[in-house]
């Protein structure tokens, strides 16, 4: 780093990155509401610049609504929808896209300013540039997802939806990790402890499992598997539903079969319900730092809340507020897992 940046410069860059994380967190949350309210197909064009402004008068609203009336969702699902009802779904999708543009600006402008002032370490410049490019790819992937529901079937592809969600979470993780590195640098001395090396492997496994849970949740949402098997702990009286392998070829069941997709999501939740309390007990060791112990406390509390939300969402057949909170909870659990992993050096 250039002279004069020092720890203050690190903190300033970290705070900027945390702000970006907060906006991405909001983006993921609103994306969940957009999906749950079936608003994602209300805007039928991708206009990254021109589309920043919404319809401003009655004529523009009628023009926008006319484009929507040509889509399969209108003709097959929402036939006869009023303009006022259309506005209700339009605004969720509009806010979602507008927030995406805002995130791009909030990331790019400070990045250029910090880089110009020499407040970003040279080795971080390629990483931050790569994150910005991933953000652009995420916008394109979002439109690629929407386009899949504008052809014949008025549902977006579950593969594209899960890829869109997964990439958003990965971008969030990359920024969050860099922010933690700058705000609270990791201790390299801790890596020499056998206990902490083992705990770090355990924490890595939890991070991977939580990310897999997010991906399986994407498939649950994509094929609306939450509307089936609304019982717990068994799935309509069975541990393994008979319908789990009805599709051919067999591997399609893991992506397109409601029974299999929901079973996979439940299975990972059960594994986390065992792995995280075990990890929490290990973090009671005197060798774990106070920061790691506090992070483990939050991880345990958040995963308990998340599992409770998941069960409630399922039993009540996916009410929008609970389902949206469940998606938010997944990001919070992932954040806590990353924080604990980072705190282990």
Write the pLDDT tens digit of every residue in 234-263: 999 999 999 999 999 999 999 999 999 999
How many Å apart are CA 295 and CA 89, to the nearest integer? 38
My answer on whether 207 and 312 are in the same domain is yes
Last residue of a domain, one of 185, 201, 225: 185
The predicted structure's pLDDT at residue 33 = 95
For residues 223 and 258, is the Cβ–Cβ distance under 8 A? yes
pLDDT digits 0-9 by tens, 318-340: 999 999 999 999 999 999 999 99
How many Å apart are CA 17 and CA 175, to the nearest integer? 6
Examine the pLDDT at 5 and tell me if it is beyond 80: no
For residues 251 and 245, is the Cβ–Cβ distance under 8 A? no
**Average pLDDT of span 41-67:** 89
Domain range for 318 is 189-345
235 - beta bridge partners?
238
pLDDT digits 0-9 by tens, 285-310: 878 889 999 999 999 999 999 999 99
CA atoms within a 13 Å half-sphere pointing along the CA-CB vector of 177 = 18
Can you tell me whether residue 238 is helix, strand or coil? strand
The angle subtended at Cα 264 by Cα 262 and Cα 268, nearest 5°, is: 120
Compute how many other C-beta atoms are within 10 angstroms of the C-beta atom of residue 329.
19
Please tell me the pTM assigned to this model. Answer: 0.93
- Whichever domain contains 313, its CATH number is 1.20.1420
**Count of structural domains within the chain:** 2
Angle between helices 258-282 and 194-222 (to 10 degrees): 160
* Phi, psi angles (nearest 5°) of residue 214: -60, -45
My answer on whether 176 and 196 are in the same domain is no
How many Å apart are CA 216 and CA 148, to the nearest integer? 20
My answer on whether 233 and 171 are in the same domain is no
My answer on whether 8 and 47 are in the same domain is yes
My answer on whether 83 and 227 are in the same domain is no
Percent of the chain with pLDDT over 70: 95
Work out the burial of residue 209: count CB atoms within 10 Å of its CB; fewer than 13 is exposed, 13-18 middle, 19 or more buried.
middle
My answer on whether 277 and 159 are in the same domain is no
pLDDT digits 0-9 by tens, 164-193: 999 999 999 999 999 999 998 776 655 567
My answer on whether 37 and 111 are in the same domain is yes
How many Å apart are CA 146 and CA 40, to the nearest integer? 7
Residues 61, 64, 65, 71, Cα dihedral to 10° = -170
């Amino acid at each position: 780093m250039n002279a004069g940046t020092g720890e203050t410069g690190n903190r300033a860059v970290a705070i900027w990155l945390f702000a970006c994380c907060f906006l991405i967190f909001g983006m993921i949350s609103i994306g969940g509401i957009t999906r749950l309210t079936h608003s994602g197909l209300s805007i039928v064009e991708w206009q990254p610049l021109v589309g920043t402004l919404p319809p401003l008068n009655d004529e523009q609203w009628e023009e926008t609504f006319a484009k929507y009336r040509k889509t399969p969702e209108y003709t097959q699902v929402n036939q006869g929808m009023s303009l006022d009802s259309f506005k209700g779904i339009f605004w969720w999708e509009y806010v979602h896209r507008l927030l995406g543009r805002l995130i791009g600006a909030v990331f790019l402008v400070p990045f250029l300013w910090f880089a110009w002032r020499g407040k970003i370490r040279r080795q971080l410049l390629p990483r931050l540039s790569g994150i910005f490019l991933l953000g652009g790819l995420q916008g394109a992937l979002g439109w690629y997802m929407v386009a899949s529901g504008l052809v014949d079937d008025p549902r977006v592809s579950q593969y594209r939806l899960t890829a869109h969600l997964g990439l958003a979470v990965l971008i969030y993780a990359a920024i969050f990790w860099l922010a933690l590195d700058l705000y609270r640098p990791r201790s390299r001395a801790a890596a020499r402890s056998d206990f902490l090396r083992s705990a770090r492997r355990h924490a890595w496994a939890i991070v991977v499992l939580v990310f897999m849970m997010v991906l399986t949740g994407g498939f649950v949402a994509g094929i609306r598997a939450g509307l089936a098997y609304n019982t717990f702990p068994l799935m309509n009286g069975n541990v393994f539903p008979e319908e789990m392998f009805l599709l051919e070829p067999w591997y399609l069941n893991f992506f397109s079969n409601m029974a299999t997709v929901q079973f996979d999501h439940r299975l990972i939740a059960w594994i986390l319900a065992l792995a995280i309390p075990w990890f929490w007990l290990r973090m009671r060791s005197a060798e774990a730092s106070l920061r790691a112990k506090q992070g483990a406390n939050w991880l345990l509390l958040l995963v308990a809340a998340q599992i409770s939300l998941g069960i409630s969402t399922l039993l009540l057949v996916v009410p929008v507020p609970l389902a949206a909170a469940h998606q938010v909870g997944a990001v919070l659990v992932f954040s806590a897992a990353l924080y604990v992993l980072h705190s282990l050096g």
